[in-house]
Structure 1
Amino acid sequence: MNIELLKNKTVLVTGGAGFIGSNLCETLLSNNIKTICLDNFATGKRKNIIPFTEDKNFKLIEGDIRNLNDCQNACDGIDYILHQAALGSVPRSINDPITTNDVNVSGFLNMLVAARDAKVKRFVYAASSSTYGDHEALPKVEGTIGKPLSPYAITKYVNELYADIFNKTYGLDTIGLRYFNVFGKRQDPNGAYAAVIPKFVQQLMNHESPIINGDGSYSRDFTYIDNVVQMNIRALTTKNELALNTIYNVAYGERTTLLELAVLLKTYLSEFDSAIKNLEIKHRDNRIGDIPHSLASINKAKKLLNYQPQFDISSGLKEAVSWYYKNI
């Protein structure tokens, strides 16, 4: 990665106290890059950024992307933006589509306007694999999508449309990263909308049976956080003009069923606690809005950004399990 290209530059990470955002802040700061974190702590955690607060290159701005003034304040003097701030979760968007839209669409537009006005050099943002919607073909290729299956998916597709228009109309360089089921350290296992991996980990560590939606045959392209960080840095620093103003899948490029996932987690966690290996895996009905299968083609990212994911599902889970066991 050409992270040295960011030396003497300032990077704004929106949602920098969140799961992905805090990992991005950590990487930037470890390379002595001036990093600004914008977060309203709706879903981000203060504990995620406590290690950074003593770093002279780190600054926290408490603010909400739904407030244009907060966005403009955060963008003052910024060279590059990694926009991670959003309300995730398909079920959350189904239960409260208005708030999801306010944050993910109105907030996104505020950030684009603020970035444009501040003459930011590049705006890299978190898109989503949910944009593929009801398109059934595998693997998922960036140029072919279906109809969205949730309010959340609609908001993330609208982000892509806005980013494209801001490039064509105002000349703002953007890159969208369609994340596929990201997991890893600092991903919150608590709350109604926790992702499947930290939720399963916490259940198993509490000697509770993990509960799978459906029969366990649904599959996902689970993507370890370090692969995602690599992709963000590559998108931020690429000098390839052909790589700009487009969308990329961010994944490993292999799929794992939910049942396989649960078995792997039992195996790795039982190395720390032998009682876990005997826990039963339980099932319940599928969730509304969930797609059966997801698998990414990462050929475009490899070709244009030289993306080289280092962690497959097995090595990523081992890293994640070790972190959770020490931190939960």
Structure 2
Amino acid sequence: MVNIIRQVLVTGGAGFIGSHSVELLLAQGFRVRVLDNLSSGSLDNLPNHDRLEVIKGDIRDAECVRSAIQGMSHCLHLAAQVSVSRSVEDPVASAEQNIIGAVTVMQAAAEAGITRLVYASSAAVYGIPTQLPIFEKSSAAPLSPYGLEKWVDERYATLFESIHGLSSLGLRYFNVYGPRQDPHSPYAGVIARFLDCLLDHRSPTLFGDGRQTRDFVYVGDVARANLAALLGHQQGVCNVATGQRIDLLELLDLLADLTDCHLHVSQQPPRSEDIRDSWGDTQRLSAWLGITPDWTLKEGLAALVAEARRRRHLASA
């Protein structure tokens, strides 16, 4: 891959997806500056590297963002409040981070003449799908403040392209999983929570009958999509998914086999903000970004289990 990016600002770079993206950027020879308030990310997620600079700051602080983006050519905007349930409980705080924060980054990017902005959107913008798999042209009907916030960000990005000529691409992540996703965080995905229960020999909790389906994409493949989007020129939105789906009971069976821990499942009523099925079409991911997921679900889960066990061993040593 030809290195045409010299300086990349990664907001939320100390987080789950952010830290994997930072590692990949560094491995490709780029200089990286991370802006993170460390509310959910951790410096422990980042390597010590002479081409990495870390600034502790908040994306809602316009002066801080303007300072951080100076000298950068590209920006990967990942900082966000990513808990659907939290957005329901406190929509004002969620909107401040996910809308005001995103617009603050876009404005700073436009003022600084950034060549390319790639930002995290979400499959949550779709709401209940009218067809499966879900295409980017499918209608948006968010069921939560979080999904609505991400949809609003997309509208702002389109507007900033029209007004300021800011080249941007929004990546609609489906269910991302992998190492460094804190199972005790309110932001944790279902795989992280299930695995934590099984390794502790606690019964996992399922909301609903367990037959709801999800498209799980490994964080390493998400980082690859982020890099390809930064290198690209396409504008609009693009699904980041695998084009495969599995129901949660099947997922639990896979994790139970990998951990050799088969436990009774505690079932609770379904949550209003949860959809029944999620399954992303990946034609645009392939055509626009040249990305085909490298990791199968079983391979990704095996890598995650091995990493989780390694971290537990180090913590107990």
2:268 equivalent in structure 1: 284
Give the TM-score, by structure 2 length.
Answer: 0.96
Tell me the CA shift for residue 192 of structure 1: 3.6
Matches within 5 A, 1:1-328: 2=1, 4-6=3-5, 9-49=6-46, 52-53=47-48, 55-238=49-232, 241=233, 244-270=234-260, 276-277=261-262, 279-328=263-312
CA–CA distance in structure 2, aligned partners of residues 247 and 37 of structure 1:
24
Letter in 1 for 2:105: M
Q: CA separation of 1:298/1:209 partners in 2, compared to 1, >3 Å: closer, same or farther?
A: same
CA–CA distance in structure 1, aligned partners of residues 185 and 150 of structure 2:
22
2:315 equivalent in structure 1: none
Query: Identity over the aligned pairs, expressed in percent?
Result: 38
Letter in 1 for 2:29: N
CA–CA distance in structure 2, aligned partners of residues 256 and 319 of structure 1:
18
Letter in 1 for 2:16: F
| Runs ≥4 residues deviating over 6 A | none
Q: CA separation of 1:3/1:177 partners in 2, compared to 1, >3 Å: closer, same or farther?
A: farther
Letter in 2 for 1:26: E
Question: For the aligned residues, what is the CA RMSD?
Answer: 1.1
Q: CA separation of 1:102/1:3 partners in 2, compared to 1, >3 Å: closer, same or farther?
A: farther
Alignment deviations for residues 187-207 of structure 1 (CA, whole Å, 9 cap, x no partner): 111134421111111111110
Is the 1:262–1:281 Cα contact (8 Å) retained in structure 2?
Answer: no
Is the 1:268–1:318 Cα contact (8 Å) retained in structure 2?
Answer: yes
Alignment deviations for residues 112-151 of structure 1 (CA, whole Å, 9 cap, x no partner): 0100111111000000000001333111000112321000
Alignment deviations for residues 223-248 of structure 1 (CA, whole Å, 9 cap, x no partner): 0011101111111112xx5xx21110
Q: CA separation of 1:94/1:3 partners in 2, compared to 1, >3 Å: closer, same or farther?
A: farther
Tell me the CA shift for residue 104 of structure 1: 0.3
Give the TM-score, by structure 1 length.
Answer: 0.93
Tell me the CA shift for residue 168 of structure 1: 1.0
